[in-house]
Structure 1
Amino acid sequence: MLPLIAGCLILAPASVPDLFPREIPLPADARVVLAQDNSRARAGSQSILLQITTSLATPAVLDLYRGFFREQGKVLVDLEASGVPICSGRLGGYQCTVSVIGNSRTVNVVVEPEGRTFTAFHEREAAARGTSAPIDARPPDTSRWRLSGALFPGDHYPGALVMRHRDGSLRGLGLALVHPRPALDSNGKRYCDNDTPPKGPVHLRDGARFAVAAPGAPLGAFFVIDAGGTLSSFGADSGGRLGQGIGDATYRWFDPVPILRNVRHVVAESANTAVITDRNELYVWGSNLSGQVPGHPDTFARSPVKVLENVVSVALARDAAYAVKTDGSLWGWGEAYEDGFLDGGVLRRRKVPYFIMDGVRAVFTAGIGPVAVIKADGSLWTWGANSMGQCGHGTKGQAARPQRIALDVERLAMDGHHAALLRKDGSVWTWGWNLSSQTGFPKAEGAVTRPRKLADGAVDVAVTSGETYVLKADGSLWGCGRNSGGVALQGRGGLRQAGLVDTGLKVD
């Protein structure tokens, strides 16, 4: 809620605990804009980005905010360098970071709740109505769960879905999470042919702020950020992707090892892992065969390596990485597929970050699939690999230029072959490869080449290699696709013909 009253910005909506003890003073000519609204993003990445523009010189602006934080006695960080956070503190249970960007007359204020959701309001709508107006009118979110991560199994391996409760506990669905041993025994024989997944989510651990699973057959790797921001990893360590400094093929199943502190967000692919810290620093590790870890001298980085600063979003492909900086610029490095760097394919492998475009809020990719970005206005744009229509352009074949395929996008999930998006109105749309009806439409349609509406009333969405999952506002979990490992249908395997299937789970 962003009402402007008498030259002050009040960030204390009545529906949530007070964000600040009192008003933040603003210069008389200050202009406040809600630049980004990630208030409904997955836990651990929720935020509102406010941009305050004023004619005051930078030192005066910085002193104003330094003074406010110090007065509250909650200053955690105070850095002098321009372009990085100048002060940071927790006020009323919220993390708040202030930094200078662009022409040095714009101040960023990033507000992040700690494990709580909140509703943001458009300043433009508020000014028009003389009061605050909600961004969307989706059904009330009564679910305390979020789809925190998904394991991308191979065609014959058990799948898994990770769910995170608001209290910080992690639950798992599917055989790959239930069994504390590899999906294949030493002779390469599947041990779980006759096993039946348990009914309902299986408790994995407590105290988690965010969790994600990396693809890999027969097993993936799992990464958990605890409530204090410490990142731990466990699972199959191949090429150093666990970041534990070892990098062999050892299975470290359900034996989490702490590897990095002050972590805000983590993404993982089959060969690499990347994290963004509380200071917007980007660390990457794992395979460096295609230049995925810029500046690292070896073919594998078995521990985290700092790559960039001022990063707000990161995505990993099989052999490439993409990052969005605080100024909205998109960068890529490694080996891109199907002109993912938009450089005309002149140089597919780049060992240093390469500028791609401006005006980006978040970036997504996976495997050898296309690249997708959500821009500041909430529009979704895609380009690159498109052999199965996974760009959503209505055609097949390489998409050499970005095209807009959706508006008002809140969340995107993609696995390289198909994708699902959640719009701000709670509707879910899918497209891409459809051999197993993973888009929710008849598998006779081998590919869905444009986004097609699948469901309403959703609060979260996730995809695996051949499956789509939708969490609805009433707490019910729905799925469609291959049902590998009995995730969606709780033990009833087989390909689905079409349509979402109620898993029978209604989590509170």
Structure 2
Amino acid sequence: VVQVVGNDCAFAAVKSDGSVITWGAADDGGDSSRVEHRLQEGVVQVVGNDCAFAAVKSDGSVITWGAANKGGDSSRVERRLQEGVVQVVGNVCAFAAVKSDGSVITWGAANYGGDSSRVEHRLQEGVVQVVGNSIAFAAVKSDGSVITWGAADHGGDSSRVEHRLQEGVVQVVGNCHAFAAVKSDGSVITWGFADLGGDSSRVEHRLQEGVVQVVGSCFAFAAVKSDGSVITWGDSGFGGDSSRVEHRLQEDVVHVVGNRFAFAAVKSDGSVITWGFAYHGGDSSRVAHRLQGVVQVVGNSSAFAAVKSDGSVITWGRSDYGGDSSRVEHRLQEGVVQVVGNSSAFAAVKSDGSVITWGAA
């Protein structure tokens, strides 16, 4: 097995021979028997949304299965998915595929972005990246412009800031309900559901220059600036308000990680600062004394796991979602090289190739 991908209810594993094995809730992608004959070889990537999967093959074709009305049935655009696909992106209930000629094809729930006919004329060429939030998509073109579609109030309609999205955009990031675009001059533009990150006017004066990274939780955003400071906006209870730890976010932050409800910032000295919904990882006081020498932090929906330079792992957040790793703590003392999270659990890979899991069974 070279890749494992999960959606909300099922898993898909890609093997070294290019075949795919699936398990979990049958209707949501766990049963791939309908397309099994096409998943025997040549698969290079599998992408999941909430209830379906899409597999990209080495010949650039795409195969889909799972909940039909949420992207599992791509028959409407099948003839356009026969070759040339280089990227597939999923949101909750739809998919978007970017082809080698820079065009974009969409399918799935129409009002979630599965129908891009409103902007189709602008998606014929030049697209280099597509990003999804929960219910909309944004495409970045080679000229630095951005096109959006899907649920209008949640980022599918960017007309309010369209004049600022005509050029210079180098990155777009989505949370669940909004988008943030970073421009080549280090400024940030936001749109979507105002209270959940789409309106950044409260901190706009600090987002005019120097931003090098933007990260989303489900309901807020955090921006890291070139001076190592962090700016946040969105729902205050879910990471949009970092005033409690603001004095520790003035300098030396190297990157920020978000889960669904909170954020964690790793500083250059290997310490970690957290904020947001306490129960879901925003409060790390229980393990604060152990959060030194951290080299990586990973989030799932409601917890965080930190890998230290000595190969040990520390966890916090919602206990039954992986915030409590005491059951396997003796195996997480050394040798961990990578931690991966799905929505409600974690898996740690050790240097000897073994895997340890904890969280929701």
User: Aligned with 2:224: secondary structure?
Assistant: strand
Q: Indicate the residue corresponding to 1:470 in structure 2.
A: 306
Residue 237 of structure 1 deviates from its aligned partner by 6.6
Change (3 A) 1:278 1:420: farther
Change (3 A) 1:386 1:481: same
Change (3 A) 1:436 1:159: farther
Q: Indicate the residue corresponding to 1:424 in structure 2.
A: 268
Is the Cα–Cα contact under 8 Å of residues 374 and 409 in structure 1 kept in the other structure? Answer: yes
Q: Indicate the residue corresponding to 2:227 in structure 1.
A: 377
Rg larger in structure: 1
Higher helix content, 1 or 2:
2
CA separation in 1, counterparts of 2:108 and 2:205? Answer: 31
**Structure 1 residue 294 corresponds to structure 2 residue 158:** yes
Instruction: Kindly provide the CA deviation profile for residues 113-145 of structure 1, in whole angstroms up to 9, marking residues without a partner as x.
Output: xxxxxxxxxxxxxxxxxxxxxxxxxxxxxxxxx
Residue 270 of structure 1 deviates from its aligned partner by 1.5
Q: Indicate the residue corresponding to 1:361 in structure 2.
A: 212
Q: Give the structure-1-normalised TM-score.
A: 0.41
Aligned sequence identity (%):
24
**Structure 1 residue 330 corresponds to structure 2 residue 174:** no
Residue 406 of structure 1 deviates from its aligned partner by 4.3
Instruction: Kindly provide the CA deviation profile for residues 55-92 of structure 1, in whole angstroms up to 9, marking residues without a partner as x.
Output: xxxxxxxxxxxxxxxxxxxxxxxxxxxxxxxxxxxxxx
Question: RCO greater where, 1 or 2, for CA within 8 Å and sep 6 or more?
Answer: 1
**Within 5 Å, which residues of 2 pair with 1:64-213?**
180-181=22-23, 183-185=24-26
Is the Cα–Cα contact under 8 Å of residues 338 and 385 in structure 1 kept in the other structure? Answer: yes
Instruction: Kindly provide the CA deviation profile for residues 169-226 of structure 1, in whole angstroms up to 9, marking residues without a partner as x.
Output: 999xxxxxx9725x5445x9xx9xxxxxxxxxxxx976x8xx9876x4xx477899x9
Q: Indicate the residue corresponding to 1:247 in structure 2.
A: 108
Q: Indicate the residue corresponding to 1:392 in structure 2.
A: 242
Q: Aligned AA for 2:136?
A: N
CA separation in 2, counterparts of 1:213 and 1:358? Answer: 35
Residue 281 of structure 1 deviates from its aligned partner by 4.6
Change (3 A) 1:361 1:475: same
Change (3 A) 1:438 1:358: closer
Q: Indicate the residue corresponding to 1:272 in structure 2.
A: 136
User: 5+ residue gaps in structure 2?
Assistant: 31-41, 61-83, 98-103, 111-122, 333-346, 354-361
User: Aligned with 2:279: secondary structure?
Assistant: coil
**Structure 1 residue 433 corresponds to structure 2 residue 277:** yes
How many residue pairs get aligned? The number is 274
Residue 418 of structure 1 deviates from its aligned partner by 0.9
CA separation in 1, counterparts of 2:4 and 2:292? Answer: 21
**Structure 1 residue 496 corresponds to structure 2 residue 315:** no
Q: Indicate the residue corresponding to 1:42 in structure 2.
A: none
Change (3 A) 1:435 1:455: same
User: Aligned with 2:156: secondary structure?
Assistant: coil
Change (3 A) 1:384 1:236: closer
**Structure 1 residue 410 corresponds to structure 2 residue 254:** yes
Residue 358 of structure 1 deviates from its aligned partner by 0.4
Q: Give the structure-2-normalised TM-score.
A: 0.54
**Structure 1 residue 460 corresponds to structure 2 residue 296:** yes
Change (3 A) 1:442 1:335: same
**Structure 1 residue 238 corresponds to structure 2 residue 93:** yes
CA separation in 2, counterparts of 1:331 and 1:477? Answer: 36
User: Aligned with 1:430: secondary structure?
Assistant: strand
Q: Indicate the residue corresponding to 1:85 in structure 2.
A: none
Cα RMSD, aligned residues only: 5.4
Q: Aligned AA for 2:253?
A: V
**Within 5 Å, which residues of 2 pair with 1:4-83?**
none
Residue 366 of structure 1 deviates from its aligned partner by 3.2
Change (3 A) 1:315 1:454: farther
Change (3 A) 1:288 1:236: closer
CA separation in 2, counterparts of 1:453 and 1:261? Answer: 52
Change (3 A) 1:223 1:418: farther
CA separation in 2, counterparts of 1:223 and 1:326? Answer: 33
